[in-house]
Amino acid sequence: MCGIVSYIGERKALPILLEGLSRLEYRGYDSAGIFICSSQENQLLKVAGKVKALQNAFDMQPDIQAEIGIGHSRWATHGQPNKINAHPHVSNNGQLVMVHNGIIENYEVLKSVLMSKGYTFKSDTDTEVLVNLIEDFQKEKEIPLEDAVPAALRQVVGAYGIVLFDQKEPDTLISARLGSPLVIGVGENEFFVTSDAAPFIEYTKEAVYLKEYELAIIQKNHPLKIRNIQNELSVDPYIEKLQWSLENIQKGGYDHFMLKEIYEQPNALRNTLRGRIDTKNSAVQINGVSAFEDKFISAKRIIIVGCGTSWHAGLVGEYLIELLARLPVEVEYASEFRYRNPIIDQNDIVIPISQSGETADTLAAIKIAREKGAFIFGISNVVGASIPGETDSGIYSHAGPEVGVASTKSFTTQVGVLMLLAIKIAQLKNRISPSESFALISELEEIPNLLQDFLENSASIKPIAEAYHEVSNCLY
């Protein structure tokens, strides 16, 4: 998840981008960047950290007149949250500038093909691969950008919401989406392309929500053009009149962030599973396990450590791993584990779980496990946090940022990761047959849809909640 804000029109772009990014910060906040284009000069500025740091960086130059620009606040999925990996990313010929929200699953294959053609990469992101793939189509096929973008996107497996700027065509933005949201605010001689409507609500209430596989060509003083990426047919833009207030929009129309995050569970789990299951071949692909298969095959025991919600997810993990992989699992509170001189050796795998990747007790537990020679496999949601840096290997849950204090989608995705891990270990240890694997993976793949159906038909829960919300405990 991340925040995208872009503008093309007759106002000064920079304040709109900076304010817009800070309104979208709940979507991602580990690094940020802006590209702006004016007749005098183009400028790209990126920072590690929050949008405030980007604001400070621009404070030095208050009078930037540019009327076109693209901005991004990142929630890293590929590569550390640092300045180099921050968006926008620029293609090898220096012409294309792009921001992206999502995950390009097949980026490694695409990257090696591009490298064999001489492309070089500065960042570790999947995004930089995509912007160069577009450049490659543009150059090789000698086609205009608006044709190169869909051609490149047809090669992509994964999710994207992108906004692209070609320095050779400074009056145009190109945007496309699949799986990540994008909305176009349509004003008088101006357009905004953003992750949700919060950045433009005070300028216009007219909005076109891009649908899956749609590509928009957005030009100053021209009507908006939309095409389908798969069949290239044009689509008539459907303009909606927004009724929402700013606060409403930031919470996606929900009364509370927690409620919003409950409803984000189906997509969060889809992101957890994306690229990691191959139902046809009954396969689970976890890169962090592939390099260490021997460790998982020979381990005598798994010890899961975590605090609060992560500890509870660990309890579910214990059931799953013991049931499927027949490997003994213990689940410990990190805060107790660190103080009680636990018996661990090099035959153990310690799995620290932490949403933030920064939980102090869990970090301390990792240190002890390392001293005692265990192999450490981390589960975290935040790319580049301390825990992923302290472990031997691991996996990200890709839940996106969680604002609500009570954990919802983080827990769901942690359990999703543990299910993947349980199946993978069971397969490595030959504890389940291919047909059992197939059944488990097919059912796992269905869970996001089941969650979605359940949440869409959740009206029947309300009276139950009303009846019982004040009870202090329940037994079931």
Question: Binders of ligand GLU: how many residues, by CB under 6 A?
Answer: 16
Report in angstroms how near the CB of residue 83 gets to ligand GLU at its nearest. Answer: 12
- Token match 């433009």: residue? 200
What is the footprint of ligand GLU within residues 336-395 (CB under 6 A)?
none
Is residue 29 a contact residue for ligand GLU (CB under 6 A)?
no
Report in angstroms how near the CB of residue 301 gets to ligand GLU at its nearest. Answer: 34
- Of all residues in the shown chain, the one whose CB is closest to ligand GLU is 2
- My answer on whether omega of the bond before 463 falls inside 30° of 0, hence cis, is no
Report in angstroms how near the CB of residue 333 gets to ligand GLU at its nearest. Answer: 32
Is residue 264 a contact residue for ligand GLU (CB under 6 A)?
no
What is the footprint of ligand GLU within residues 108-137 (CB under 6 A)?
125-127
Nearer to ligand GLU, 102 or 342 (CB): 102
Nearer to ligand GLU, 76 or 441 (CB): 76
End-to-end C-alpha distance for the chain, whole angstroms: 36
Is residue 398 a contact residue for ligand GLU (CB under 6 A)?
no
What is the footprint of ligand GLU within residues 54-113 (CB under 6 A)?
74-78, 85, 100-103
Nearer to ligand GLU, 9 or 33 (CB): 33
Could you tell me the two tokens for 365?
Answer: 């537990």
Nearer to ligand GLU, 77 or 92 (CB): 77
Report in angstroms how near the CB of residue 162 gets to ligand GLU at its nearest. Answer: 10
Nearer to ligand GLU, 180 or 391 (CB): 180
Nearer to ligand GLU, 100 or 276 (CB): 100
Report in angstroms how near the CB of residue 6 gets to ligand GLU at its nearest. Answer: 15
Nearer to ligand GLU, 48 or 76 (CB): 76
Report in angstroms how near the CB of residue 374 gets to ligand GLU at its nearest. Answer: 30
Please give the Cα distance from 2 to 186 (Å, whole number): 22
Report in angstroms how near the CB of residue 128 gets to ligand GLU at its nearest. Answer: 8
Nearer to ligand GLU, 30 or 332 (CB): 30
3-class secondary structure for the chain?
CCEEEEEECCCCHHHHHHHHHHHCHHHCCCEEEEEEECCCCEEEEEEECCHHHHHHHHHCCCCCCCCEEEEEEECCCCCCCCCCCCCCEECCCCCEEEEEECCECCHHHHHHHHHHCCCCCCCCCHHHHHHHHHHHHHHHCCCCHHHHHHHHHCCCCECEEEEEEECCCCCEEEEEEEECCCEEEEECCEEEEECCCHHHCCCCCEEEECCCCEEEEEECCCCCEEEECCCCCEECCCCEECCCCHHHHHCCCCCCHHHHHHHCHHHHHHHHHCCCEECCCCEECCHHHHCCHHHHHHCCEEEEEECHHHHHHHHHHHHHHHHHHCCCEEEEEHHHHCCCCCCCCCCEEEEEEECCCCCHHHHHHHHHHHHCCCEEEEEECCCCCHHHHHCCEEEECCCCCCCCCCCCHHHHHHHHHHHHHHHHHHHHCCCCCHHHHHHHHHHHHHHHHHHHHHHHCHHHHHHHHHHHCCCCCCCC
- Token match 């740091």: residue? 53
Is residue 2 a contact residue for ligand GLU (CB under 6 A)?
yes
Is residue 325 a contact residue for ligand GLU (CB under 6 A)?
no
Nearer to ligand GLU, 12 or 52 (CB): 52
Is residue 28 a contact residue for ligand GLU (CB under 6 A)?
yes
Nearest to 102 by CA among 65, 75, 71: 75
Nearest to 131 by CA among 70, 54, 43, 66: 70
Please say whether the dihedral angle defined by the alpha carbons of residues 137, 143, 149 and 150, taken in this order, is positive or negative.
Answer: negative
Report in angstroms how near the CB of residue 28 gets to ligand GLU at its nearest. Answer: 5
Is residue 194 a contact residue for ligand GLU (CB under 6 A)?
no
Nearer to ligand GLU, 162 or 216 (CB): 162
Report in angstroms how near the CB of residue 85 gets to ligand GLU at its nearest. Answer: 6
Is residue 46 a contact residue for ligand GLU (CB under 6 A)?
no
Report in angstroms how near the CB of residue 272 gets to ligand GLU at its nearest. Answer: 14
Report in angstroms how near the CB of residue 213 gets to ligand GLU at its nearest. Answer: 18
Is residue 1 a contact residue for ligand GLU (CB under 6 A)?
yes
Nearer to ligand GLU, 286 or 320 (CB): 286
- Binding pattern to ligand GLU, positions 135-154, x when CB under 6 A? --------------------
Report in angstroms how near the CB of residue 178 gets to ligand GLU at its nearest. Answer: 13
Is residue 299 a contact residue for ligand GLU (CB under 6 A)?
no
Residues lying near ligand GLU in the complex (CB under 6 A):
1-2, 28, 74-78, 85, 100-103, 125-127
